[in-house]
Amino acid sequence: MSVSSVNPAPNSTNEYYLTRQSQMESNVRSYPRKLPLAIAKALGCWVTDVEGTEYLDCLAGAGTLALGHNHPAVIQSIQDTLTSGLPLHTLDLTTPLKDAFTEALLEQLPGGKKEYCLQFCGPSGADGTEAAIKLAKTYTGRSSVISFSGGYHGMTHGALAMTGNLSAKNSVNGLMPGVQFMPYPHEYRCPLGLGGEAGVDALTYFFENFIEDVESGVTKPAAVILEAIQGEGGVVTAPTKWLKKIREVTEKHNIVLILDEVQAGFARSGKMFAFEHAGIEPDVVVMSKAVGGSLPLAVLGIKRKFDAWQPAGHTGTFRGNQLAMGTGLATINTIKEQNLAQNAQERGDFLQAEFKKLAVEFPCIGNVRGRGLMLGVEIVDERQTADHMGSLPGDSQLAAAIQTACFDNKLLLEKGGRNGTVIRLLCPLIITHEECVEVMVRFKKAIAEALVAVRGA
């Protein structure tokens, strides 16, 4: 059967496809359990299922679809690449298209190609974080890594070892050894129980002291890896002061600082990269998701001094996806031409303000946070007693019901954070003001319905 002859079966339903999917695919399926639809087509911020129902998509391929679905610039780029006669795949051999994409991508990094070079690796975010860690070990000759609670770096053995969430780790023995976790600042749930500036100051001091303490029990690491905004961990933004200190200390001790920009990268936070908000320059930047403009691609930006690889020191077959480099180039150009970083900032500010207003009406919204179009809404049980920092216990049952009610109201979004209590929005960067208003209309209806379903009120 050719692609063009694959049309939805007459009178087909979501249920028809979901049943077939459950019969043919592993139990590992995740999204279809929370968002039970079969997609027939998609455009911009909208997805249409096989029954003809339209959904507003604030998940956007977990942030991959920076320009939304089937953006004309992305489609044109795919068509141009197909008709250009270029090979679709080239390992790490170069082409004029790859050359142009490489240059355009380097220009996005601080100092551009004078400061950084690129490494194309296997196409997933986890491939990128794995390569970054191997490079840091190669460069320093050291073996351990510092990662942070709440961090997410992928699902392969090394990446999972550096990931905070325990549910995926508990069932897998033998993850990469040598990962030391440290607490990540959290405005609403300060891991030190201090909260506010005092919490940030203490964590900033703690990091420096820990690295410099000759009795810390932890040998000097090869790398520190972190997200400037934790995504899967529940949309937690690193305070500038803390991030600057991490940069200062890692530089002083020649520890490779790896910024995982797989999710926050590419204008989502209101700047091209989330680390730019703190004005720091990482040694290695990991990019995936949006970097391939909807298609699979992962790239490391490496400060030239740290490029310690020997030829073929790290390889991988799928490093040469020309279609993805074309769509990546089209995405960079569109982001720049249409100033989508600013759109992300403005639309995100509007949404945050609206969620904060909604929190007055619905006190089960305990905290609204994020930057640009990387937003988190933490769902709490306000009937319980707040702790000494004013934080209420999370309500994972209600958060799950809100996600379901959003789906029923044709709004696609994700959950994350500790025990899945944070509703997460990763809207396409092209979302309009009118679509944001529509997000809020649907969300408000959904939260009221979920409260009735879970609490009867």
Ligand X SMILES: Cc1ncc(COP(=O)(O)O)c(C=O)c1O
Q: Tell me how many residues contact ligand X (CB under 6 A).
A: 15
Least spacing, CB of residue 182 vs ligand X, in Å:
17
Site string for ligand X, 19-58 (x = CB under 6 A): ----------------------------------------
Site string for ligand X, 210-229 (x = CB under 6 A): -----------------x--
Sort strands 411-412 and 54-57 into parallel, antiparallel or unpaired. Answer: parallel
Q: Which is nearer to ligand X, 47 or 290 (CB)?
A: 290
Q: Which of 43-51, 257-265, 366-374, 407-415 is the region at the interface with ligand X (rule: CB under 6 A)?
A: 257-265
Distance CA 411, CA 234 (A): 19
In single-letter form, the type of residue at position 227 comes to E
Give, as ranges, the residues between 291 and 330 that touch ligand X (CB under 6 A).
none
Measured CA to CA in angstroms, residue 446 lies from 61, 271, 365, 452 at distances of 22, 31, 13, 10
Measured CA to CA in angstroms, residue 258 lies from 106, 210, 262 at distances of 17, 18, 12
DSSP-derived letter for residue 179 is E
Which residues are paired to 116 by β-bridges?
A: 303
Q: Which is nearer to ligand X, 181 or 210 (CB)?
A: 181
Residue of 221, 231, 320, 420 interacting with ligand X (CB under 6 A): 231
Q: Is 129 in the site for ligand X (CB under 6 A)?
A: yes
Q: Which of 65-73, 120-128, 210-218, 398-406 is the region at the interface with ligand X (rule: CB under 6 A)?
A: 120-128
Q: Which is nearer to ligand X, 264 or 379 (CB)?
A: 264
Q: Which of 87-95, 123-131, 315-323, 339-347 is the region at the interface with ligand X (rule: CB under 6 A)?
A: 123-131
Closest residue to ligand X using C-beta atoms: 125
Q: Which is nearer to ligand X, 154 or 370 (CB)?
A: 154
CB neighbour class for 415 (10 Å; exposed up to 12, middle 13-18, buried from 19): buried
Residue of 154, 328, 372, 394 interacting with ligand X (CB under 6 A): 154
List the structure tokens of 342. Answer: 């600013």
Give, as ranges, the residues between 270 and 289 that touch ligand X (CB under 6 A).
288
Sort strands 145-148 and 179-182 into parallel, antiparallel or unpaired. Answer: parallel
92 in Cβ contact with 309 (< 8 Å): no
Q: Which of 149-157, 234-242, 319-327, 367-375 is the region at the interface with ligand X (rule: CB under 6 A)?
A: 149-157
Q: Is 262 in the site for ligand X (CB under 6 A)?
A: yes
CB neighbour class for 361 (10 Å; exposed up to 12, middle 13-18, buried from 19): exposed
Q: Is 130 in the site for ligand X (CB under 6 A)?
A: no
**Secondary structure class of 155 (helix, strand, coil):** coil
Q: Is 237 in the site for ligand X (CB under 6 A)?
A: no
Least spacing, CB of residue 289 vs ligand X, in Å:
7
308-249-265-84 Cα dihedral, nearest 10 degrees? -20
In single-letter form, the type of residue at position 238 comes to A
Q: Which is nearer to ligand X, 264 or 364 (CB)?
A: 264
| Alpha helices for 112-190 (secondary structure H) | 112-115, 125-140, 157-161
Least spacing, CB of residue 298 vs ligand X, in Å:
7
The alpha carbon of residue 210 and the mean position of all alpha carbons in its chain are separated, in whole angstroms, by 28
HSE, CB side, 13 Å, CA atoms: give it for residue 309: 20
Q: Is 403 in the site for ligand X (CB under 6 A)?
A: no
Q: E-assigned strands of 77-212?
A: 116-121, 145-148, 179-182
Measured CA to CA in angstroms, residue 359 lies from 325, 452, 456 at distances of 42, 17, 19
Q: Which is nearer to ligand X, 265 or 270 (CB)?
A: 265
Residues contributing to the site for ligand X (CB under 6 A): 62, 124-126, 129, 152-154, 227, 231-232, 260, 262-263, 288
